[in-house]
Structure 1
Amino acid sequence: MIYTVTLNPSIDYVMSISSFQEGVVNRASQTMYYPGGKGLNVSRVLTKLGTSTTALGFVAGFTGNFIKEKLLEEQVNEKLIEVEGVSRINVKLKAKMESEINGTGPVVSENNIDLLIGQLQSLNEGDIVVLAGSIPNTMPSTIYETLMSVCAKNNVKVVLDTGGEMLTKLLDWKPFLIKPNHHELGDLFNVTIESTEEAIHYAQKVLEQGVENIIVSMAGDGAILATKQGTYFAKAPKGVVKNSVGAGDSLVAGFLAGYSKEKNILHALQNGIAAGSATAFSHDLCEKEEVERLLNEVVLQEVNLEDIKK
């Protein structure tokens, strides 16, 4: 079973407008509402792809009820813990330029956190936990370390999708998978990565720290997968980008769906790139049929590390 943890879920309120002006009334041409949060996105895509998943985390108030209702509609299994307050609303404004205003979430008590820890303590070897997103300032900054220590005791694999100083600290826990973009990878080493060769070089350094797999997103150019089995470059399919929200989460979900089915790391990568691309080419998260259509358009190439060193 693949579990996702979303500490601060949201309603993503997406508004499309031809031209936005400050100080006047603007009218949206289209509005959409989705359950939001990186972990929830992963669970939503996994469910679409037919892979067993359970969404964990915290919700609150009438917005929390909406999130749970939408997950139920999509048949996403959830064991979200209800807390006091109101889950946040994140506004995504799609005009000539895309802008976001993210709301604040509810306060989560120590007792609430203990309930989440208890859920993870019941997991078994073979399960996978996805820790995705930033840590809200209403929770201890060490919460991910606490959750990863619980998983380690039961030999549960952890996928870590976060960035910044937090990612640097958590590498010591040797996660099963991390997914930085090339900017975030550079931040780990205080460098600016400007080429695929540089990204591969620093991905190898991450492997040396004990991380099992690292996917480095190179935006529309594709992605790099570095593992102990080898290093590979995946060229993304071509298409019209309609949506930047959730593409990275879809990549993670597609990778895990492929891995759980065949335990083949290359099939997992191909599936992940197809899922991420399918979301980028859609208005919401990808659909299974589109992922399957794009699979054959994902070109994989093994990287000769000796060539990189020259």
Structure 2
Amino acid sequence: MIYTITFNPSLDYIMHVDCFEEGETNRSKQEEIYPGGKGFNVSTILSRLNLETTALGFVAGFTGEEIVKELKERGFDCDLCQLESGLSRINVKMKGAKETEINGSGPDIPQEKLDELFEKLDYLKENDTLVLAGSIPSSLPDDIYEQIMKKLDQQGIKIIVDATNDLLKKVLPYHPFLIKPNHRELEELFNVKIENKEDLIHYARKLQEQGAINVLVSLGKDGAILVSEDTHVYYCAGAKGKLLNSVGSGDSMVAGFIAGYLKDKKYDEALKLGSACGGATAFSEDLAEVSMIQEVYKQLQVEEL
């Protein structure tokens, strides 16, 4: 089973505007509402690839009820902790000539609800996969990822971490199966300017030295590089297509990587399917459907560097 955790989910309210003017009344020409959260995005793509997945996390209030309703329609299991007060946040995203976002802060999560989540983690068993992705609400301890990895250490569970800066650094001693910094995040981690593939590989290997098992560096339209646990380095160039959506592409890449790896334990296939899922979401209005993933997959070639 593949589990994901979304600590601070949202309803993403997408508004399409021709030209946003600050201080003026702006009118949207089209709106959509989606459940937001990196873990939910990963579970959605996994489900579309016919893999069993369970989404864990926290929801609150009427917005939380709508999140659960939307997720159930996507067809995967949800085992979410229901908070007794507050509201799951609403994130407003205005799409026009430029994209503008206003993200809510989300509800406070009390200790008893965090304990409830940890009880759910007791159901994970050897060979399961857990995805920890995204930011942590201010009401939770900033070492929550570490606490989870410490709890599950030595149980044979593959843990994937998609996080940034100190949140990522602190989990490396617990040997996450996969981490996925992008080019900019890799620069921030080491306070350097990365100019070429050789630099990318050098600093990805440094993350391995610090504890990561596999390091996947996403390069946006330029593709992705994987430094795998068996010392191989793979590169997949970016797919060609029209960028329609900047939300969820990285999460889709994580889901595709998991699906590709679980298929036959081959890292080149994991990188290829991960890249296909990430590109397919970038070329879609929302998270990619299987037909788009298959179309993009046909474009891609993986080479060993």
TM-score by length of 1: 0.96
The letter for the 2-side match of 1:207 is Q
The letter for the 2-side match of 1:272 is G
Partner of 1:286: 288
Partner of 2:299: 297
- C-alpha distance in 2, partners of 1:96/1:42? 28
TM-superposition CA deviations, 1:266-292 (whole Å, max 9, x none): 111100000000000000000011111
Partner of 2:43: 43
Partner of 1:72: 72
Partner of 1:108: 109
The CA RMSD over aligned residues, in Å, is 1.0
- C-alpha distance in 2, partners of 1:196/1:124? 37
- C-alpha distance in 1, partners of 2:34/2:197? 34
Partner of 1:184: 185
- For the residue of structure 2 that corresponds to 1:284, the secondary structure is coil
Partner of 2:265: 263
The letter for the 2-side match of 1:113 is L
- C-alpha distance in 2, partners of 1:32/1:101? 15
- C-alpha distance in 1, partners of 2:218/2:113? 34
TM-superposition CA deviations, 1:109-148 (whole Å, max 9, x none): 1110111111112210100100000111111111111111
- For the residue of structure 2 that corresponds to 1:79, the secondary structure is strand
- C-alpha distance in 2, partners of 1:204/1:226? 7
What does 1:1-310 align with in structure 2 at a 5 Å threshold? 1-83=1-83, 84-229=85-230, 230-303=232-305
TM-superposition CA deviations, 1:65-90 (whole Å, max 9, x none): 00000011111211011012100001
Post-superposition shift, 1:150?
Answer: 1.6
TM-superposition CA deviations, 1:208-261 (whole Å, max 9, x none): 223111110111100000013200111111000000000000000111111122
- C-alpha distance in 1, partners of 2:170/2:204? 16
Percent identity for Structure 1 against Structure 2: 49
- C-alpha distance in 2, partners of 1:153/1:117? 16
- C-alpha distance in 1, partners of 2:82/2:195? 44
- For the residue of structure 1 that corresponds to 2:153, the secondary structure is helix
- For the residue of structure 2 that corresponds to 1:78, the secondary structure is strand
Question: In the alignment, is the contact (CA less than 8 A) between 1:128 and 1:158 conserved in 2?
Answer: yes
Question: In the alignment, is the contact (CA less than 8 A) between 1:236 and 1:299 conserved in 2?
Answer: no
Aligned residues: 303
The letter for the 1-side match of 2:97 is K
Post-superposition shift, 1:155?
Answer: 2.1
Partner of 1:307: none
The letter for the 2-side match of 1:290 is M
- For the residue of structure 2 that corresponds to 1:125, the secondary structure is coil
Question: In the alignment, is the contact (CA less than 8 A) between 1:203 and 1:214 conserved in 2?
Answer: yes
- For the residue of structure 2 that corresponds to 1:89, the secondary structure is strand
- For the residue of structure 2 that corresponds to 1:105, the secondary structure is coil
- C-alpha distance in 1, partners of 2:76/2:28? 29
- C-alpha distance in 1, partners of 2:154/2:229? 23
TM-score by length of 2: 0.97
- C-alpha distance in 2, partners of 1:215/1:6? 21
TM-superposition CA deviations, 1:159-184 (whole Å, max 9, x none): 00000121111111110000000111
TM-superposition CA deviations, 1:176-196 (whole Å, max 9, x none): 000000111122212122322
- C-alpha distance in 1, partners of 2:221/2:50? 26
The letter for the 2-side match of 1:130 is V
Question: In the alignment, is the contact (CA less than 8 A) between 1:151 and 1:157 conserved in 2?
Answer: no
Post-superposition shift, 1:153?
Answer: 4.1
The letter for the 2-side match of 1:11 is L
Question: In the alignment, is the contact (CA less than 8 A) between 1:246 and 1:279 conserved in 2?
Answer: yes
- For the residue of structure 2 that corresponds to 1:186, the secondary structure is helix
* Segment drifting more, 186-195 vs 167-176: 186-195
Partner of 1:308: none
